[in-house]
């Protein structure tokens, strides 16, 4: 079973490096991104292949994601 990697780019790390977390499936990867990205981007990877880049928009309410 492949594990997906969620790479979070929100600028919170002092060195600017993304935070990477593992997920067992796509639904979990999307949930991880939704919980951990305040403002910024996340990428979902399957090995060396990027499946999606997610950009979170909006404020505290009615947020939405742009998927590329």
Q: How far apart are CA 17 and CA 2, in angstroms?
A: 24
pLDDT per position as a tens digit, 11-56:
666 676 788 999 999 999 999 998 888 778 999 999 999 999 999 8
CA nearest to 45, candidates 20, 9, 16, 64: 20
Buried b (16+ CB within 10 A) or exposed e, 6-34: bbbbeeeeeeeebeebebeeeeebbebbe
Residue spans of the domains in the chain: they are 4-67
* pLDDT higher than threshold 70 for residue 64: yes
Contact 42, 31 (CB under 8 A): no
Whole-number pLDDT of residue 13:
60
């Amino acid at each position: 079973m492949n594990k997906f990697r969620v790479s979070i780019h929100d600028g919170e790390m002092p060195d600017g490096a993304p935070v990477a977390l593992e997920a067992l499936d796509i639904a979990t990867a999307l949930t991880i991104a939704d919980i951990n990205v305040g403002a910024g981007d996340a990428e979902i990877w399957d090995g060396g292949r990027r499946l999606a880049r997610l950009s979170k928009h909006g404020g505290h309410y009615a947020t939405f994601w742009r998927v590329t």
